[in-house]
Amino acid sequence: MPGFEAFGEEEKKHVNDVLESGVLMRYGFDGMRNGHWKAKEFEAAFAQRMQSQYCQLVSSGTSALTVALASAGVGAGDEVIMPTFTFVASFESIMMLGAVPVLVDIDDTLTLDPAAVEAAITDKTRCVMPVHMCGSMADLDALKAICDKHNLLLLEDACQAIGGTYKGQPLGSYGDLGCFSFDFVKTITCGEGGAVITNNEQYSINADQYQDHGHDHVGNDRGAETHPVLGYNFRISELNAAVGLGQLSKLDTFLAKQKEHYTIMRNALEQVNGVTFRRVPEGGEENYSFLNFFLPTTELTQKAHKALGEAGVDACFYWYTNNWHYINGWEHLRNLNSLGRVPSEIRNQIQDLNNADFSASDAWMGRTISALVKIGWTEAEVQQRASKMAEVISEVLKTEYSL
């Protein structure tokens, strides 16, 4: 990852089709298009690739989450369970609808702990949102069993895990709805873009309408369309969809290269006494966009992360102190710092995040380093990087394991 490392003729062809037609909007202007409908084509191709009946393209992964929740009827006062380790978009997408994010601990998968999920369910819970962070998945069987037991939606945020699978199914296709991001640093990119997939026809209709001001998209006269529901503008443009089409055609190549580079790095670190790895649930396969590993203590992990940077090993992330991806850095959420008045449902229901006990999450995140896997490296560069990582970490851990 990411796909922007491999722009080429595939993307140029689709983009040129759009520019030559002059129609950058995905709807209307039928006579000018020269038969080009890039968003429709991308939706059909992506649904097929993700083994799902329906796909709705939108403007971002964030909007995909909001559209997915709205399409399933989640709204003001409904509670959505999400992990402490994710991107800020997770709670933003929930709160935009007036729904209430309920943060719970992660486990050694670096995703939702099923036991913590079940303990957080109330009579207001409507949805469980596992976030498949850094290329791997939650314990989906356990979460689905909980959702079935309590009649809850299972919404997979697969924005960072496109191409990963669980028991042979693409991540995102296992739950009631799945969401993806195609921003500039994802495995495939549109520049900006996202997608919602589902096998539920009504959710698909709702998503189609909600992302385009409530338009019903019936007939071929946009001005004559009705508006069955309120909606917003979360449309993708034809230009963004065109780039995505080119990238999607290369997804399997990207995934194979990620796995190749990941394997070289992992093989090197497996030789280092004291390094352990994130648990991938049985039956799951990562998309290999990150190599996620644990060191014995928070102190040693911080020391190793600093040493890796000083040694010139870039793109190694220590999420525990990252402002975007872990609860410790979300002061604006903890204190509800908003430009406007926060809906009363959120103010009255949200947990006290300044005093909540997330020590179980801290125990994992404090010891986690995630190493980005790039597809543009040469084999020699990957081998050199892997050797350097192993050397640096061994040096940091030598005192701990010298006996």
Q: Which residues are catalytic?
A: 186
Location of structure tokens 């190793």 = 304
Task: Compute the distance between CA of residue 306 and CA of residue 163 in angstroms, rounded to an integer.
Answer: 31
Bridge-partner residues for 372, per DSSP?
290
Q: Are 88 and 110 in contact (CB under 8 A)?
A: no
Identify the residue whose tokens are 């991540």: 171
| Ramachandran class of 193: left when φ > 0, alpha when ψ lies in -120 to 50, beta otherwise | left
Q: What are the DSSP calls for 234-299, one per residue?
A: -PPPHHHHHHHHHHHTTHHHHHHHHHHHHHHHHHHHTTSTT-EEPPPPTTEE---SEEEEE-S-HH
Are 81 and 129 in contact by the 8 Å Cβ rule? The answer is yes
Only one residue has tokens 């949805």, namely 127
- Identify any residues that bridge with 317 across adjacent strands, giving them in sequence order: 370
Alpha-carbon distances, residue 44 vs 38, 97, 245 (angstroms)? 10, 28, 10
CA dist 284 and 53 (Å) reads 22
CA distance 40 to 52: 15
As to burial, measured by CB atoms within 10 angstroms (0-12 exposed, 13-18 middle, 19+ buried), residue 356 is middle
Give the integer Cα–Cα distance in Å for 81 and 244: 30
CA dihedral 307, 109, 182, 146 (to 10 degrees): -160
Write out the DSSP string of 168-198: TEETTSSSSEEEEE-BTTSSS--BS-EEEEE
Which of left, alpha, beta for 277 (phi over 0: left; psi -120 to 50: alpha)?
A: beta
